Every structure is written in structure tokens, then in C-alpha cells.
Amino acid sequence: MKDIISKLFKYGIPIAISVGLAWFLYKNVDLEAIKTSLSQDVNYWWFIPVIVVSILSHVFRALRWRLQLRAINIDAPLWVLVNSIFGTYFVNLLFPRLGEVWRTGYIAQRQKAPFATVLGSMVGDRLSDTVTVLALTVVTFFLAQDKFRMFFAASDKGQSAASWTMWALVAVGILGLAALVWLYRSTSQNKIVARLRGIVRDLWQGLAAIAHMDGKWMFLIYTLLIWGCYFMQLYIASKAFTFTAELGVLPVLVLFVLSSIGMAVPSNGGLGPWQFAIIFGLSLYGVGAFPPSTPYDAQASAFSWLVWGVQQLLIIVLGIYTFVSIALDKKKD
């Protein structure tokens, strides 16, 4: 029974989130209007550079991870690390959050390295992304604060909700930080506390190791390249649609940050949360309304589905290539 409940939480909740948000977003939107928008408002040639930039982002991520692995005396070939990144996103598409565990196990097994050691480098890799998203979020919300104020100022309830939400986030952030510091410094022998303390300390060591390793400046450069590629994917994709081609850098940055936050919600490949974030972001700049309710809003829906769909199709293709490549590599060995 315990195992069944655990699997329901791992796989049932992400599916429920995806289905629930998809229903909320599209229950009042005419699907035929979405099809019309996809056939009349899109220049599909723009998605060729989108795909190229997306693949480059994976290569840069592999190069960055190689720096961390070399710091712990694991020297994996670049093509193996690139495969591990391709495979991570493919596995995450099927089983949310398990991709990182898979790539850790794959590299540990192939390079005959301790799983825990490789896991520490992967944790540092993901923590650096979390810090990057937080920094981008703060900067973007500051730059685009007028748009958010206009949205929430549409009604007194909206203003009140925005105020409560802001203070709730501040309170959660302070309490969360205090809890992490307490766990890190705690000497409690309680099993649950001890386990959480071990996780917090492992996470901190994974992040702190970046500051002391050789090539930390290259690590920073690769981080900028990775997230620059992520932003450029969405910026180039915006040029493919007649109704977003003139949006500009700041609106796309808002879409980018909101969608990055959406990807943190457990779901299959971001299905649901990603569309939710994009449609909300587009509504701030006059493309449709939030929540969608009219045929006009189908344009925002078409944008969110097509851009997301192209990325998922690429992940599937790269995932198939990866597992074929791994099988051939094993056969050769």
C-alpha cells in the first residue's frame, strides 16, 4: 500500500496537474479558432533556428557539467555527457524529476564512478540553475512591474490578492531560508531531521564546490550561454507569429521568466503549467486575455501549444537518438 501511494504521488499528481490546467485554460476556447491561427498566423521556417539554438543549449549544459565532473576526477567524453543531457529531458517527459537520477546513474555506471559523487555534481548543476532563475525573476519583475500592477489593478480584489500574494511570498521565503539554516546547523538526532539535514548539507556542498573548482569562470560563461539559448529559443519563436513578432525583448523576457517558473511545477514536460504561464504573460501585453474565454484568445493558446509542442518533439527525437547511441556504445564495449 505504501508503494502504491508513493507511485500515485510521483506520477498521479503531475498528470492531474497537467490535465487540470489544460482543462482550465481551454474549456472556453474554440479549438477550430486555434487551428485557424496555426494555419494563418505562423511562419514555420522560424522554428529551424529555434531547434538549432535548443540543441546548442544542451551542448553548453554538457560542457558545463564536464567542468564539475573533472573537478571530482571524472573525465567523461563530451558526446557521452551530451547524450546524458538529451536523455535527461526525454526521461523527464515520461517521468517528471527522474531524468536527473537517470543521468547520474548513467554517468556513474559508464565511468565506473560512485553514484553519490556524481549526484553531488548534478545537484550543483541544478542549484546553479535555480539561482539563475531567481535572479532573472527579480530583475524581470522589477523591469515589468507596471504591467503586473495594471493587471492586478483591474479590480480591488485583484489589488488585494496581489498584495497578499507578495507578502505571502516574502514570508515563505524568509521562513524557508530560516528552516534551511536551522537544518544545516542542527544537531538533532531525530531520523527525519537528520535525513533532511543530510540533504541540505549535500545541496550546499554541491553548490559551494563550484566556487572552488578550476574553471569557475568558464562555468559562469556556460551558464550565461545556456540561459541565453533558452531565452533566444522563445525570442526567435515569437518572430514566427504575426501577433507576437513585434513584442520586443522585455515582453519575451517576461514570458521566459514566467514559463521558467512554470516548469518548476511537477508535470509531464511542463504540460499545463507552461501554457498557463505563457498565456498569462501574453495577456499582459494585449495578446488574448487571462483566463482565455473567446476565439480571439485562441492566438495565445496557439502560441503556447506550438512552441511547447516543437520543444517536446525535439526532446523525443533526441531521446530516441540517445538511447540508440547508448545501446550501440554498450554493444561495442
Report the alpha-carbon distance of residue 203 to residue 197 in Å, rounded.
10
Instruction: Give Cα separations from 101 to 24, 59, 97, 124 (angstroms).
Output: 32, 19, 8, 14
φ, ψ (nearest 5 deg) of residue 5: -65, -40
The pLDDT of residue 17 is: 63
Residue 3 belongs to some domain of the structure: no
Residue 2 belongs to some domain of the structure: no
Comparing C-alpha atoms, which of 130, 118, 120, 126 is closest to residue 80? 118
pLDDT in tens, the chain (333 residues): 555 555 555 556 666 666 666 665 666 566 787 888 889 999 999 999 999 999 999 999 999 999 988 888 889 999 999 999 999 999 988 887 788 999 999 999 999 988 877 887 888 888 888 889 888 988 888 888 887 777 666 544 444 544 555 555 556 667 766 776 776 677 777 777 777 777 666 666 656 666 667 778 899 999 999 999 999 999 999 999 999 999 889 999 999 999 988 887 767 777 778 888 898 889 888 887 776 665 556 888 889 889 999 999 999 999 999 999 999 887 776
Residue 36 cell numbers, joined: 485557424
Report the alpha-carbon distance of residue 127 to residue 164 in Å, rounded.
28
Residue 312 belongs to some domain of the structure: yes
The pLDDT of residue 51 is: 97
Whether omega for the bond prior to residue 291 falls within 30 degrees of 0, making it cis, is yes
Residue 146 belongs to some domain of the structure: yes
Q: Which residues pair with 241 in a beta bridge?
A: 42
Residue 135 belongs to some domain of the structure: yes
Residue 45 cell numbers, joined: 521556417
Residue 28 belongs to some domain of the structure: yes
Put simply, whether the predicted model's pTM sits higher than 0.85 gets the answer: no
Range of the structural domain that residue 206 is part of = 19-332
The pLDDT of residue 171 is: 67
Number of domains composing the chain? 1
Q: Where does residue 215 fall: left (phi above 0), alpha (psi -120 to 50 degrees), or beta otherwise?
A: left
Residue 14 belongs to some domain of the structure: no
Burial of residue 84 (number of CB atoms within 10 Å: 0-12, 13-18, 19+): buried
Residue 51 belongs to some domain of the structure: yes
